[in-house]
Chains A and B, each alone.
Chain A
Amino acid sequence: MEDHGSEILRRALAALPDAIVDTHARLGDATLLVRSEQLIAVMRFLRDTAGLEFDMLSDLTCVDYLGEIPRFEMVYHLYSVARNHRVRVKSRVSEEDPRIDSCIPVWPAANWLEREVWDLYGIRFNGHPDLRRLLLYEEFEGHPLRKDYPKEKRQPLVGPRN
């Protein structure tokens, strides 16, 4: 797995030097940090290149590094069923304009996961066809997994809609 990891990083760096900001393989997890504008290009490269073949978007989430600039970090975990290897792709998103391109054209699995990130972190996804809240209800105010959302905050009680 270790060798696989560094090989993936080496090939991605060679093919897309402008898109990749940083790489590391700490704890054996190969990780690419990419520019958010070029996220989709990197994803397509990882999916379509022979030998990498990341056919599955395993997971997609966000981390709120409150106080850092840019504040949010999108985290994508990719898995290749064909090759049995993994890679993590990360991309920073700013607080002022929390937007990033949607991964649905590459893997439709991203649909609900992106809705969840919108719901809990308030990141908008460009090109998402149906960006509704996933877990919470429409009347919910704020995005609760942001670090500045107090755990004790109460929300208005919403009655039946009809």
Chain B
Amino acid sequence: MEESPHLLTERRRETPADDQSRDLHTEHQILNMGPSHPASHGTVKFVIELDGETIVDIDIQVGYLHRAFEKECESGTWYQAIPYTDRLNYNSAILANLGYCMAVEKLLGIETLERCQWLRVLAGELARIADHLTRCGAACLELAAMTPFLYGIESRELTWDLLEVLCGARVTSNFIRIGGVKHDMPPEFPNRCRESVAKIRGLLRDFDAVVTENRIFVDRLRGTGLISKEDCLRYGVTGPLLRACGVPLDLRKQEPYLVYEQIDFDVPIGTVGDNYDRYLVCVEEMHQSLRIVEQCLDHLEKMGPGPVNVDDPRVRWPAKGRVFNRMEELIQQFKSVTEGPRVPAGEGYFAIESANGELGFYLVSDGSAVPYKVRCRPPSLINLQPMPLMIRGALLADLIPTFDFINMIGGECDR
């Protein structure tokens, strides 16, 4: 590849004095890593300028998974964008569904029912657990520890099985609807969920036992990927990365949406902001999410069955029995399927706390049944941007855990 002139190398070559002053004369070399590399999960290319094993500068090239998310959304109905949001972050598809649907509800002025809100929190927290498990498990794998990865993936299977019971799909769940959810949870769900929660707790204990105080793991994580609180804020970093620096920013607490105000959970924070803190924050967040899941189950069982979708003719689909027998409902069903809701003209931004940080949707409507603009604020992209700050001057090997704990998800980063 032709070296890009923005890299430090090109500028350095013009000032040979720099090299003269060194004890050992080494030439900087350019290393291309990715876009598909076995030691990184995520399709991204690093052009790394190395001095021996030390990273002098790095250029991060994203975009390999660009699928024209926004352009596609602008050509379908408001409903048709929901499956696209599934494909943003495949680890926690429900959270992306949720962010989009709540942004549309904001434009429509719809307040969802309480039962629906508890279900959304339940599904969202399961997705968050799956996301953190992938992050921590894959990080171990890429640091050459196979066993904890398998513990992580086994627990992720448990959460995905639960999501399958709940939504009918494991990964691309497409569960959240504008004004509600696809359907209520099946009757056997609470017991099955409690069993799985207990199993996940057990697996997390095993994970903890082999990893958290493991000498190799700690040495690779502690003190690597450091970034200051101030730099995080200047670069718009949110989520576990920011919390690991000691900033207790969690939109579930700061701007409570759904029923998070009624739920008892803590926001773990780190102290120095290195990879080890990020790991600890993620593990504790999983425990907190398990607590939230249990509270949701208790509350949903106490509430008893009830409607989950808001009774608003703009977004509600009529009951099937009536569609088959009555003209009005048949027409309404036809309109709902082919056209979907017409959203009042205007603009709105709504953000939720996804597993990676602030996942926001900025929507513009011109009053028609087709979105005028669907902007997704991707936490993966924005959290990846300050990565050079974290690893300049570090060893090449430190790039692996740092990139793992940034948890860049290509689908969301590149859209």
Within 8 A of A (CB), among B1-59: 1-2, 6
Q: Does A61 contact B (CB under 8 A)?
A: yes
Q: Bound state CA distance, A88 and B363, in angstroms?
A: 13
Which one, A5-13, A38-46, A94-102, A128-136, is touching chain B?
A: A128-136
Q: From residue A113, how far is it (CB to closest CB) to chain B in Å? A: 8
Q: From residue A117, how far is it (CB to closest CB) to chain B in Å? A: 11
A144→B377 contact, CB < 8 A:
no
- Check A109/B235 contact, CB under 8 A, given A162-B1, A162-B2: yes
- Check A29/B414 contact, CB under 8 A, given A107-B236, A144-B71: no
Which one, B128-136, B203-211, B326-334, B347-355, is touching chain A?
A: B347-355
Say which residue of B62, B70, B377, B415 sits within 8 Å of A58 (CB atoms): B377
Say which residue of A27, A61, A112 sits within 8 Å of B346 (CB atoms): A27
Within 8 A of B (CB), among A46-100: 55-59, 61, 63, 75, 77, 79, 81, 84, 86, 88
B236→A57 contact, CB < 8 A:
yes
Q: Bound state CA distance, A86 and B255, in angstroms?
A: 11
Say which residue of B247, B347, B415 sits within 8 Å of A29 (CB atoms): B347
Q: Bound state CA distance, A63 and B347, in angstroms?
A: 11
**Which of A55, A86, A135, A161: most chain B CB closer than 10 A?**
A135
Interface string of B382-397 (1 = CB under 8 A from A): 1001100000000000
Interface size class of A (residues with CB under 8 A): 35 or more
Q: Which residue of B lies closest to A81 (CB)?
A: B249
**B347: which A residues are within 8 A, CB to CB?**
26-27, 29, 31, 75
**B375: which A residues are within 8 A, CB to CB?**
59, 61, 75
Q: Does B358 contact A (CB under 8 A)?
A: yes
**A77: which B residues are within 8 A, CB to CB?**
349, 360, 362, 377
Q: Does B338 contact A (CB under 8 A)?
A: no
Interface string of B230-242 (1 = CB under 8 A from A): 0001111000000
Q: Does B98 contact A (CB under 8 A)?
A: no
Q: From residue A130, how far is it (CB to closest CB) to chain B in Å? A: 5
Q: From residue B344, how far is it (CB to closest CB) to chain A in Å? A: 10
B2→A59 contact, CB < 8 A:
no
Q: Which residue of A lies closest to B70 (CB)?
A: A145
Say which residue of B107, B247, B364 sits within 8 Å of A63 (CB atoms): B364
Q: Does A111 contact B (CB under 8 A)?
A: yes
Q: Bound state CA distance, A113 and B107, in angstroms?
A: 25
Q: Does A17 contact B (CB under 8 A)?
A: no
Q: Does B127 contact A (CB under 8 A)?
A: no
Counting residue pairs across A and B whose Cβ atoms lie within 8 Å, the total is: 92
Q: From residue A126, how far is it (CB to closest CB) to chain B in Å? A: 18
B63→A135 contact, CB < 8 A:
yes
Q: Bound state CA distance, A109 and B6, in angstroms?
A: 18
Q: Does B194 contact A (CB under 8 A)?
A: no
Q: Which residue of A lies closest to B4 (CB)?
A: A132
A59→B360 contact, CB < 8 A:
yes
**A113: which B residues are within 8 A, CB to CB?**
382
Q: Bound state CA distance, A116 and B62, in angstroms?
A: 11
**A137: which B residues are within 8 A, CB to CB?**
63
**Which of B1, B235, B381: most chain A CB closer than 10 A?**
B235
Q: Does A127 contact B (CB under 8 A)?
A: no
Q: Does B254 contact A (CB under 8 A)?
A: yes
Say which residue of B6, B75, B249 sits within 8 Å of A130 (CB atoms): B6
Q: Does B106 contact A (CB under 8 A)?
A: yes
Say which residue of A26, A81, A112 sits within 8 Å of B247 (CB atoms): A81
Within 8 A of B (CB), among A19-47: 26-27, 29, 31
**A134: which B residues are within 8 A, CB to CB?**
62-63
Q: Bound state CA distance, A133 and B249, in angstroms?
A: 31
- What are 10 A-B interface contacts by the 8 Å CB criterion? A27-B106, A31-B347, A56-B236, A59-B362, A61-B375, A79-B358, A112-B385, A136-B66, A137-B63, A161-B2
Binding site for B on A (CB under 8 A): 1, 26-27, 29, 31, 55-59, 61, 63, 75, 77, 79, 81, 84, 86, 88, 107-109, 111-113, 116, 120, 130, 132-137, 144-145, 151, 161-162
Binding site for A on B (CB under 8 A): 1-2, 6, 62-63, 66, 68, 70-72, 75, 106-107, 109, 233-236, 247, 249, 254-255, 346-349, 351, 358, 360, 362, 364, 372-373, 375, 377, 381-382, 385-386, 414-415
11 A-B pairs besides A59-B375, A116-B381, A120-B70 with CB distance below 8 A are: A27-B107, A27-B346, A56-B236, A59-B360, A75-B347, A77-B360, A81-B247, A84-B255, A132-B6, A133-B63, A136-B66
- The 4 A-B residue pairs with the shortest CB-CB distance, nearest first, are A109-B236, A135-B63, A59-B377, A135-B66
